[in-house]
Amino acid sequence: MPRPKHRSRSFRKVFRKVPGGRTVLHLQKQKPKMAHCAQCGAVLKGMLRKRASLLRNVSKTKKRVSRPYGGNLCSRCMRLKMVEKARV
Amino acid sequence: MMDVGRVCVKIAGRDAGGKCVVVDVLDNHYVLIDGQVRRRKCNVAHLEPTAEMIKIRKNAAHGTIVEEFKKMGIEIPERKSKPKTERPKKAHGQGKKEKKAAAEKPKKTKKAVKEEGIESKVGAKTEEAPAKAGKKNK
């Protein structure tokens, strides 16, 4: 019987092979959604898809792309924004 | 449009949003740029030209471009390249072993312990012996 707190659909089931040879069911929290562009909603590339608590120890370069608006806008939307700024 | 001296805005990559000037036209698609961005070859599609023009020579030095930008009211901070430091050459896992060896104290073998004990006893006797001899003489 799983623990009462694990009796929920919010946990995903992961089968792990333990050193003893058995396969054990681990219950983990669900992965967060992929990061999306704030303007067009496209999936952002180069972003880690992990829970915030795990991202705390990850370097900044692994969490976002190194360009203005990196990690917030996709490259296409960023370009449009830059063109707008240059024309104004 | 993309002639030497044309001020543009870079719209792609990590230097996006920075103002730059065309220093050299390499071919139909590529130009050499410098300014608020790193001096480098750049695709014309990654640049948005502005109406401004600067009077510079082809292949002008970075210093002259900095001065021209200053006149326009744009300050370009000096970029200092870090001096390259050589990495210590280590075989895989060698560093850890060395550290361990340094941390560990030299272990005393049984023989060494025995010898030390004998020496200390002998030393004590030799020190006592002349004292006794002195007493006898008195």
Alpha-carbon gap: A66 to the closest alpha carbon of chain B (Å): 6
Q: What are the tens digits of pLDDT across the range B39-96?
A: 999 999 999 999 999 999 999 999 999 999 999 898 888 877 788 888 888 776 666 6
Stretch 32-91 of chain B: residues touching chain A, C-beta under 8 Å: 48, 50
Q: Please determine, for residue A18, whether its predicted confidence score (pLDDT) is greater than 70.
A: yes
Residues of A with CB under 8 A from a CB of B: 66-68, 75, 78-79, 82-83, 85-87
Return the amino acid letter for A31.
K
More confident residue, B101 or B131: B101
DSSP A8: S
The pLDDT value given to residue B2? 85
**How far A72 CA sits from the closest chain B CA (Å)?**
14
**For A3-7, B107-111, B134-138, which range has the lowest pLDDT when averaged over its residues?**
B134-138
Cβ-Cβ pairs closer than 8 A, A with B, add up to 31
Q: pLDDT tens, A30-58?
A: 999 999 999 999 999 999 999 999 999 99
Q: Residues B10, B47: contact at Cβ < 8 Å?
A: yes
- Beta carbons of B48 and A83 less than 8 Å apart: yes
In eight-state DSSP terms, residue A51 is: -
CB spacing of B11 vs A68 below 8 angstroms: no
**Taking Cα atoms as reference points, which of B125, B137, B39 lies closest to residue B79?**
B39
How many Å apart are CA B36 and CA B45, to the nearest integer?
18
Token reading at B92: 């895989």
CB nearest to A67's CB, from B8, B9, B14:
B14
Q: What does residue B123 show for φ and ψ, rounded to 5 degrees?
A: -60, -40
Average pLDDT over residues B108-133: 61
Going by pLDDT thresholds of 50, 70 and 90, the confidence category of residue B124 is low
Across the interface, which of B8, B16, B48 has its CB nearest the CB of A68? B16
Pairing of the two strands B6-10 and B40-43: unpaired
**Among A45, A36, A14, CA closest to A27:** A14
Residue of B9, B13, B48 with shortest CB distance to A67: B13
Percentage of residues in chain A having pLDDT higher than 70:
100
How high does pLDDT run on average in chain B?
A: 81
Rounded to the nearest angstrom, the minimum Cα separation between A78 and chain B is: 8
Please tell me the distance from the alpha carbon of residue B35 to that of residue B23, in angstroms, as a whole number: 10
Alpha carbons B130 and B115: distance in angstroms, whole number: 23
Whole-number Å distance between alpha carbons of B29 and B25: 9
CB burial string B82-96: b at 16+ within 10 A, e below: eeeeeeeeeeeeeee
More reliable by pLDDT, B2 or B65: B65
Identify the pLDDT of residue B87: 85
pLDDT of amino acid B105 = 63
* ipTM confidence score: 0.75
Largest Cα span, chain A: 66
Nearest CA among A66, A87, A85, A79 for reference residue A39: A79
Angle at the Cα of A80 from the Cα atoms of A77 and A82, rounded to 5 degrees: 110
| pLDDT tens by residue, B10-39 | 999 999 999 999 999 999 999 999 999 999
**DSSP state, B25?**
E
pTM of full prediction above 0.90: no
